[in-house]
């Protein structure tokens, strides 16, 4: 479904990603583990068309994603939920969600149906639909950010560090929702530092260190890998 081939990203003289290769197959949740600065957001921005690679490409469903055209990526079915959520704090929850459906703006009925699906996934957002997004708790804001990405009706969701700054109980709720989204047919590429929570819902995972993929395997392989256990699971 998604094939990243020899992808490198440079910022001036600095190379943030060194010839990355990875795949996401239909129906999978694939986790990308990595510490701060490992290059997770650089990869996501590149897959979303916000950043041009210096080398290599990413192909999704036979189409090249890495042309620096974000609107093309969204139209192809790839939608990003960015690190830090990046909501419009003054706008209501519902307006934030509807902005995610912009590419389907001529399909008002479809957007309404999608909005109802988001409210079913996160019932608390239905209660707070008229409130400014900035007035919500961190976990609820993360739900809005995921919901906004879903409004674009993606087949592949790029989810960048959704657990950042959230209490453990809230992380569990958010990850349970991600699992339900996946069961409804959306593939997920999930960048995380919270390895324990992320591997709990993953089918496969990659470890990114210093802009390079250093470990890859199934969820069980990573859970039993001594390097992952000591560096990311604290055991
Ligand atoms: P974090 O979780 O802290 O965001 P990350 O794994 O997402 O980490 P990136 O944000 O992709 O990592 O950053 C990878 C490296 O590239 C870091 O060393 C960062 O300082 C550098 N970097 C990121 N964006 C830029 C930029 N626009 N210009 C220069 N360097 C950058």
98/111 Cα distance (integer angstroms): 8
Which of the 8 DSSP states describes residue 58? E
- Mean pLDDT within 227-233: 87
pLDDT digits (tens, 9 = 90+) for 59-105: 999 999 999 899 999 999 999 999 889 999 999 999 999 999 999 99
221/227 Cα distance (integer angstroms): 11
pLDDT at 4: 97
C-alpha triplet 71, 76, 80: angle, nearest 5°: 65
Please give the CATH architecture assigned to the domain spanning 1-75+154-162+186-235: 3-Layer(aba) Sandwich (3.40)
8, 40, 190, 214: which to mutate for ligand 1, most atoms within 8 A of CB? 40
- Tokens of residue 91, six digits: 């706008």
Each domain of the chain, given as residue ranges in start order, spans 1-75+154-162+186-235, 78-153
pLDDT digits (tens, 9 = 90+) for 17-51: 999 999 999 999 999 999 889 999 999 999 999 99
pLDDT digits (tens, 9 = 90+) for 122-170: 999 999 999 999 999 999 999 999 999 999 999 999 999 999 989 899 9
pTM of the model: 0.94
- Tokens of residue 63, six digits: 């189409």
Question: Side-chain half-sphere of 116: how many Cα atoms within 13 Å?
Answer: 5
pLDDT at 233: 83
- Minimal CA–CA distance to 233: which of 192, 173, 172? 192
7, 35, 39: which to mutate for ligand 1, most atoms within 8 A of CB? 39
């Amino acid at each position: 479904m998604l094939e990243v081939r020899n992808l490198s990203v440079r910022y001036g003289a600095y190379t943030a990603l060194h010839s990355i290769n990875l795949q996401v197959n239909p129906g999978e949740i694939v986790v990308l583990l990595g510490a701060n600065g490992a290059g997770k957001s650089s990869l996501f921005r590149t897959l979303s068309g916000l950043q041009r690679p210096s080398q290599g490409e990413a192909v999704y469903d036979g189409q090249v994603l890495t042309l620096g055209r974000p609107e093309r990526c969204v139209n192809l079915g790839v939608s990003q939920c960015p690190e830090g959520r990046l909501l419009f704090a003054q706008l209501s929850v519902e307006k934030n969600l509807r902005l995610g459906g912009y590419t389907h703006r001529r399909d008002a009925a479809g957007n309404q149906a999608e909005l109802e699906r988001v409210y079913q996934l996160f019932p608390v957002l239905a209660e707070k639909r008229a409130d400014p997004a900035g007035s919500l708790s961190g976990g609820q804001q993360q739900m809005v950010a995921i919901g906004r990405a879903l409004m674009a009706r993606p087949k592949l969701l790029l989810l960048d560090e959704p657990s950042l700054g959230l209490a453990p109980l809230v992380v569990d709720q958010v990850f349970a929702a991600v699992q339900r989204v996946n069961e409804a047919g959306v593939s997920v590429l999930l960048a995380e530092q919270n390895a324990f929570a992320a591997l709990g819902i993953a089918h496969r995972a990659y470890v990114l260190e210093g802009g390079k993929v250093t470990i890859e395997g199934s969820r069980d392989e990573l859970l039993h890998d001594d390097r992952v256990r000591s560096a990311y699971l604290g055991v």
